[in-house]
Structure 1
Amino acid sequence: MKLTEPVPGGPCWVELSTSDVPAARAYYAGLFGWRCETDPRPEAGGYTTARVDEDAVAALSPLYQPGRPPAWTVSFAAEDADASADAVRDAGGTVLMEPMDIFDQGRFAVAADPSGAVFSLWQARAFPGAGRFNSPGALGWVELRTPDPQGALAFYPAALGWTADAQERFTHWGVDGADFGGLKEQDDDERAGTPPHWVPYFVVSDAETTAARALTTGGEPITPPARVPGGPWVATLRDPLGARFGIRTP
């Protein structure tokens, strides 16, 4: 990812909604070395921030809706969450949760693209988003898995102002040409069991070692570690509670 800090339109935060926050907290702390802090305020609902050193890198929270499967959600920075929500609707997406204030931290909305892939919008106030990218334990890439890549190529540039570098086998998303993520079409097998979704990739020093540790502590493989031609080593995994995520080398 060529972004080094949150910028309008780019990824700024990732949150795990899970059925067992203490178990997820222990799993990811063992995998990435996160230090987790739970907001003690009752109105925060158990919201837990994960840090690398002093930098916030991700969050874990109880399921927003009981019965929903655990999942990671990627948030994209918005200068005006209300205007961005309107742009999502105008481009053919759906606003699942209207913009609302989160204490003094910022303004937040939840949306879905036309294929149903869910993402969030974050208008920063006191909290700008992740304190670091592209280093071990921090976010290093995001990827959209969808059965409708052409629909995605029409939607996201219109809704969020992204650039799209569409190559033969892969498309890179960017902000003013600075790549931060990608687009992959779901194959028939994946479509049968998995709805369209965004996958966050966390940076690790060694993909094979981290993948092995992820499996021995209760996770499951989705795709094994492999070298992107001319690029990093990557793998996708499922945590013990079922949430999908990725790892990649710098």
Structure 2
Amino acid sequence: MQGTPCWVSLTTQDMNAAQDFYGEVLGWEFEPGLQGQGYVVAHADGEPVAGLVESTQSMGVRLPVAWTAYFVADSADAVASRVRERGGTVAVGPIAFGRGRMAWAADPVDAAFCIWEGPVDAGWYAGRGSGAAAWLELHTRDPFASALFYGEVFEWDAQGPEVIDVRYEHDRVILRAGGRTVAGLYGGVQQSPDPAIRPKWHVHFCRTDVDAAAARAAAAHGTVVTPPHDSALGRTATLRDPEGGLFHLSSAEEDAPS
């Protein structure tokens, strides 16, 4: 379904160190991806859950260490064009990448994301259990303005509420696809020169052992930004890997809050 999350990838400057860290913390195993040299795919319980790419080999552009969310596009060129028309930027692409085409983009407040046109693992984002992606959340300045941007870029409304449903619940805009909550857009991020608190898509991974995983992250030279605590997503924690890549853990496997 166009405009729904379909993948996440980590841009790293040290592939071996990143595999050691995430293997220890999340129990992932790795194998080379079809995208070519410098790209590996992480697996949890034999299922692909994320990609890792070395920034020095990422389409010739050295990118910062970060987790990036990918969204489905029927046409990467059409979506990229709408990104530009609505005040966003397209830094790279669309270009051929693996079995499809992709583009690196950013919304009008500079939150980065990727556009993906190509085969999608239908089970990737279906609450498959520990180690898989649980939830994506955009931390931004104005969630309504951001929802309007992404809705127009990916034509959420054109697909009908039974396919893509966007609504405001509690304190955020919620995106539901096929009856499942897949992402949220949360406001409150103010103007700041600090890159740690600028608008950004955040990735949450399922773990049934959040406290133990956070302890493993600290022991593996990562940083526990927010210690494990109870939340609407169950037991959660915010971590950084040794290179500064920010990610979250959540014990909620079946669905995000709605």
Report the TM-score when normalising by structure 2: 0.82
Q: Which residue does the alignment assign to 2:174? A: 172
C-alpha separation in 1, matches of 2:216 and 2:190 = 29
* Cα distance between partner residues in 1 of 2:48 and 2:169: 33
Given that 2:143 and 2:173 are in contact with CA atoms closer than 8 Å, whether structure 1 keeps it comes out as no
CA distance in 2, matches of 1:98, 1:227: 41
Amino acid at match of 1:52: A
Deviation at 1:32, TM superposition (A): 1.4
Runs of at least 4 residues off by over 6 Å:
none
Counterpart selection for 1:243 from 240, 245, 250: 245
Other-structure match for 2:224: 221
Aligned counterparts of 1:116 and 1:165: Cα–Cα separation in 2: 23
Q: Deviations over 1:174-216 (max 9, x none)?
A: 2366321112234459763423211111100122222222122
Cα distance, 1:38–1:72 mapped onto 2, change above 3 Å: same
**Where does the alignment leave 5 or more consecutive residues of structure 1 unmatched?**
1-6
1:133-212 map, 5 Å? 133=125, 134=127, 135-160=129-154, 161=156, 163-175=165-177, 178-187=180-189, 192-194=194-196, 195-212=198-215
1:3 maps to what in 2? none
Work out whether residues 143 and 172 of structure 2, in 8 Å CA contact, stay in contact via their aligned partners in 1.
no
Paired AA for residue 43 in structure 2: R
Instruction: Output the aligned Cα RMSD.
Output: 2.3
Q: Secondary structure of 2:194's partner?
A: helix
Post-superposition CA distance 1:114-135 (Å, at most 9, x none) = 100010011114xx24753321
Q: 1:130 to 1:54 in 2, by over 3 A?
A: farther
The one-letter amino acid paired with 1:201 is H
Deviations 1:35-94 (A, max 9, x none): 11135x9x823111111233211111111333x431011101112211221222233322
SS of the residue 1:69 aligns to = coil
Q: Judging changes above 3 Å, is the alpha-carbon distance between structure 1 residues 98 and 132 closer, same or farther for their aligned structure 2 residues? A: closer
**CA distance in structure 2 between the aligned counterparts of 1:121 and 1:216, rounded to whole angstroms:** 35
Q: Is the 8 A contact 2:7 2:124 kept in 1?
A: no
- Determine the C-alpha separation between the residues in 2 that align with 1:223 and 1:106: 37
Q: TM-score, normalised by structure 1?
A: 0.85
Q: Report the count of equivalent residues.
A: 237
